[in-house]
């Protein structure tokens, strides 16, 4: 029986690439989308036209009860979740001087609280079955910080603290918990940045001189979800073209 992989925020550039990669490896792929997303059905049709039979469920990842309802439905209809990719995230970039409590809260809830909300629903089952993978998608800016991103950087750094602590708790149960920290990836969001900004501000920071590809990040996720990665847990793997080394 195919294992079930659940990717939060899987309809974006990076999440979509992860869904495609996992499907190619034989996983039953489930993604979540915001209840306010009116284009979810269109995305599913586009993916079906390309030969991908994804499953998608509305879920507010910042809300614990919504996450519980979503995972309960997935388990009932498709089976228990074996691989969880906590990918959903948002930005509300501005200097700390201008940042409001609302700007802070919405980023923390969507980017960090969501990791608890989703992982809590699947972890007991993974432990009971003696196999599971949790992969948390952080950011290079959670490692080095970024101007105008105190909220985002804090949330993304917090994800790895969560990873390390939980990995210690479940490491003897056949469950691994890891973080990946992508740098600038050529998603639609990044490609919307004006070319002059990319050329003058972003690319000069990257030793490889280019943006990463979503497929490259998806390949790393697929590895961490595999049997071969069973000895990797509590790690934070950078995938940033050399932008930040430590």
Q: Which of 27, 152, 184, 223 is catalytic?
A: 152
> Is 27 labeled as catalytic in the residue annotation?
no
8 A C-beta contact, residue 125 and residue 141: no
Q: Considering only the C-alpha atoms of the chain, give the largest distance between any 2 of them, rounded to a whole number of Å.
A: 53
> Which has the closest alpha carbon to 95: 138, 143, 146?
146
First to last CA, the chain: 40
8 A C-beta contact, residue 52 and residue 62: no
> Which has the closest alpha carbon to 133: 26, 1, 5, 20?
5
> What is the spatial order of strands in the sheet that 132-137 belongs to?
55-58, 28-33, 4-7, 81-86, 132-137, 175-182, 236-239
The full DSSP string for 5-27 is EEETTTTSHHHHHHHHHHHHTT-
Catalytically annotated residues:
152
């Amino acid at each position: 029986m195919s294992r079930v992989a659940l990717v939060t925020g899987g309809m974006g550039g990076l999440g979509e690439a992860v869904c495609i990669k996992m499907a190619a490896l034989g996983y039953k792929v489930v993604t979540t989308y915001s209840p306010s997303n009116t284009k979810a059905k269109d995305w599913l049709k586009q993916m079906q036209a390309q030969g991908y039979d994804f499953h998608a469920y509305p879920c507010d990842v910042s809300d614990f009860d919504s996450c519980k309802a979503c995972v309960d439905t997935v388990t009932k209809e498709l089976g228990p979740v074996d691989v969880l990719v906590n990918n959903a995230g948002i930005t509300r970039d501005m200097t700390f001087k201008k940042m409001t409590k609302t700007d802070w809260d919405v980023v923390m809830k969507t980017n960090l609280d969501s990791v608890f909300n989703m992982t809590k629903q699947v972890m007991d089952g993974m432990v009971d079955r003696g196999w599971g993978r949790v992969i948390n998608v952080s950011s290079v800016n959670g490692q080095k910080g970024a101007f105008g991103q105190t909220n985002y950087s804090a949330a993304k750094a917090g994800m790895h603290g969560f990873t390390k602590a939980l990995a210690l708790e479940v490491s003897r149960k056949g469950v691994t918990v890891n973080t990946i920290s992508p740098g600038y990836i050529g998603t639609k969001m990044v490609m919307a940045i004006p070319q002059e900004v990319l050329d003058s501000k972003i690319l000069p920071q990257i030793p490889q001189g280019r943006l990463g590809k979503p497929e490259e990040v998806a390949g790393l996720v697929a590895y961490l979800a595999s049997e071969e990665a069973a000895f990797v847990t509590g790690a934070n793997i950078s995938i940033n073209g050399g932008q930040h080394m430590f």
